[in-house]
Structure 1
Amino acid sequence: MPRKVDHDQRRRHIVESLLRITGAQGLEAVSLREVAHEAGVSMGAVQHYFATKDEMLLYALQHWLSLSVHDRFAGRVRDRLAGAPAGEPAAMLRAIAAEYLPHDAAGRADALVAVAFLSRAAVAPALAAALAPAFAGFVRTLGTVFESAGPAIDAPAEAQRLAALLDGLRLPVLAGALSHRDALAVVDRHLAQLTTATAHA
């Protein structure tokens, strides 16, 4: 009796291969041929599941976002906070920043995937629509932390500002133009200035 093919599992296997390529070399290295080679399948098999490269990229992005990239990120933040005073907003924000900025192989791969898709989304509305909720969720997370710091802080505005700062620092760190330590020092200065400003408000 022929074995039943799990088509969803096949699609996931193919796009996980795409994500590995992207996490190592960026989207420029992604082609049907390279994805097929990485996945260990024929180009025909890839084309059977994805009619175009854009369709494959969208499925890959949706899969990556649902994969728990956020769960992995949250886990790393929790590890970094181990031993820190519970409920301390400044420590939480610094831990989020430290993990958002790539500093190890796993963080670098995730950051490279994020930056690659963000760049592509500038000219691909479907990718932009898929990314928008993820960015909004990140800003809401920052906003929740800022809210816990007290009413003197405009939490929504500061969350947007910190998210923009982190995104602005992420690419130079990824490109090797700025060290993780120096980028985190920029964040520390920003948070210190914010704390000083609210203390005198």
Structure 2
Amino acid sequence: MPKLVDHAERRRQIAEALLAVASTRGLHAATMREVAAEAGVSLRLVQYYFHSKDELLAGALEHLAARIGERVRERTARARGPYELLLGALSAVLPADEDGRRVILTYHSYYTHALSGGEPSARGARDAAALEELLAGYVARAQSEGAVDGSLDADVLAIELLALANGLGISVLTGQRDGARALELLTGRLDRLFRL
């Protein structure tokens, strides 16, 4: 009997291989052949699932967004209240551990790819907007509980907090500070917002 293939798992395997290559060499340098070698599959198999490098990049971005979503869910699963929800979600975009470094470095590679002439990603914009919306919901909850000044715009605060976390993430990736210091700075900003 022929072996059954889990096509979704195979696509994830190939997308994960692209993330591994891109996190060390950048998206521009990741060829389909290198991705195949990293995944331990043939080039033809990569081309079967992703007909072009653009398709591979789009598929890997979808996988990457799911990985970031997993990181957010893991860090907010045991949260007790909006402060911990915000801290958990924002810390998910900090490259403070090896997995985070690989995921966030590759995510920033997509920004670099778009800025250097690659196709801007509508998917990436939607994912960022969804995270901002999630954060705005946490801020609004904190406001309804009286923990955060209700006169502040929750949407604007969410944008500012995510921009801070992204900026701190870049400073970790470039060696300007370590993950612990970035988390300390992020926590300090939340403490001031919650007047702690």
Same fold (TM over 0.5): yes
Could you list the structure 1 runs, at least 4 aligned residues long, displaced by more than 6 angstroms after superposition: none
- 1:27 partnered with 2:27: yes
Range with bigger deviation, 137-146 or 40-49: 40-49
1:153/1:31 Cα in 2 relative to 1: closer, same or farther (>3 Å)? same
* Equivalent residues of 2:19, 2:103 under 8 A apart: no
**2:129 match:** 136
* Equivalent residues of 2:22, 2:109 under 8 A apart: yes
Range with bigger deviation, 23-32 or 155-164: 23-32
Alignment deviations for residues 48-90 of structure 1 (CA, whole Å, 9 cap, x no partner): 443321221112112332x4531332113335x4xxxx32x33
For normalisation by structure 1, the TM-score amounts to 0.78
1:94-105 map, 5 Å: 94-105=87-98
- 1:124 partnered with 2:123: no
- 1:44 partnered with 2:37: no
**1:63 match:** 63
Shift of residue 28, structure 1, vs aligned partner: 4.5
* Equivalent residues of 1:173, 1:183 under 8 A apart: yes
* Paired residue total: 189
How many angstroms apart in 1 are the aligned matches of 2:168 and 2:63? 26
1:107/1:135 Cα in 2 relative to 1: closer, same or farther (>3 Å)? same
The amino acid of 1:75's aligned partner reads E
**1:54 match:** 54
1:5/1:101 Cα in 2 relative to 1: closer, same or farther (>3 Å)? closer
**2:147 match:** none
* Equivalent residues of 1:146, 1:153 under 8 A apart: no
* Equivalent residues of 2:93, 2:169 under 8 A apart: yes
How many angstroms apart in 1 are the aligned matches of 2:60 and 2:142? 37
**1:171 match:** 170
Shift of residue 7, structure 1, vs aligned partner: 5.3
Alignment deviations for residues 150-182 of structure 1 (CA, whole Å, 9 cap, x no partner): 223321111111111111111111222112232
**1:110 match:** 103
- 1:145 partnered with 2:138: yes
Could you say which structure has the larger radius of gyration?
Answer: 1
Shift of residue 191, structure 1, vs aligned partner: 2.9
For normalisation by structure 2, the TM-score amounts to 0.80
When the two chains are superposed, the root-mean-square deviation of aligned CA atoms in Å is 2.7
Gaps of 5+ in 2: 144-149
Gaps of 5+ in 1: none
